Amino acid sequence: MLKATVHVTLKPGVLDPQGKAVQHSLAALGFGGVEQVRQGKYIEVDLAETDRERAHATLDAMCRQLLANTVIENYAIDIAAADIAE
Amino acid sequence: MLKATVHVTLKPGVLDPQGKAVQHSLAALGFGGVEQVRQGKYIEVDLAETDRERAHATLDAMCRQLLANTVIENYAIDIAAADIAE
């Protein structure tokens, strides 16, 4: 089994109303000096696959087809260094 | 300025309907062998602060008060290694 993580973030320049809302809430709570907040998604995927290259290709396809909207979002795939035997 | 990232994830054992929905959608798209999907949040925070220790304490308070629901979620704070001069 391979454990992978995917970060999906808005591309630079794309408005992030959710991040802005968090920033304003932080200000309302008294946290000053917050210059920017951007919110993205963090997805952990456990794959029944042992080949890292194949896993990466599969995850890339998952991102393009479902996990990310590539028009406005970037994604980054990380596969944990070692196979985890369970 | 310091750039920090916060990962907010559901604690182990807490049901993740959003992750399950993604898992089922992946299966429907033909991606087999997906054993588990857990979805969390990824938040980038730019702070007008240069002291890493103070920044960490501030971010910890932000997580406890707003960013994470500590009853069901864990959070992890990372502060980028170098100050970014802009």
**CB nearest to B41's CB, from A42, A45, A58:** A42
Q: B85 lies in a domain?
A: no
Q: A51 lies in a domain?
A: yes
Are residues A29 and B66, on separate chains, in Cβ contact within 8 Å?
Answer: yes
A51 SS3 class: coil
Kindly indicate the confidence band of residue B10, based on its pLDDT and cuts at 50, 70 and 90.
Answer: very high
Kindly indicate the confidence band of residue B86, based on its pLDDT and cuts at 50, 70 and 90.
Answer: very low
Kindly indicate the confidence band of residue A86, based on its pLDDT and cuts at 50, 70 and 90.
Answer: very low
Q: What is the pLDDT of residues B31-50, one digit of tens each?
A: 999 999 999 999 999 999 99
Question: pTM of the predicted model, to two decimals?
Answer: 0.90
Average pLDDT over residues A14-39: 96
Look at the block and give the residue holding tokens 């100050």.
B83
Are residues A22 and B66, on separate chains, in Cβ contact within 8 Å?
Answer: yes
Q: B11 lies in a domain?
A: yes
Q: A84: Cβ–Cβ under 8 A, 6 or more apart, which residues? A: A1, A2, A3
Total domains in the fold of chain B: 1
How far is the alpha carbon of B78 from chain A, nearest alpha carbon, in Å?
A: 14
Q: A85 lies in a domain?
A: no
Chain B residues with beta carbon closer than 8 angstroms to that of A41: 39-42
Q: B86 lies in a domain?
A: no
Nearest CA in chain B to A8: B42
The CATH number linked to A40 is: 3.30.1280.10
A48 lies in which domain range? 2-79
Q: A8: Cβ–Cβ under 8 A, 6 or more apart, which residues? A: A40, A41, A42, A43, A63, A67, A68, A73, A74, A75, B42
Name the β-bridge partners of B73.
B10
Q: What is the pLDDT of residues B54-81, one digit of tens each?
A: 999 999 999 999 999 999 999 999 998 7
**H or E segment at A54?**
helix A52-62
Interface of chain B toward chain A, CB-CB under 8 angstroms? 1, 7-9, 19, 22, 25-26, 29, 31-49, 58, 61-62, 65-67
Q: A84 lies in a domain?
A: no
Q: A60 lies in a domain?
A: yes
Q: B84 lies in a domain?
A: no
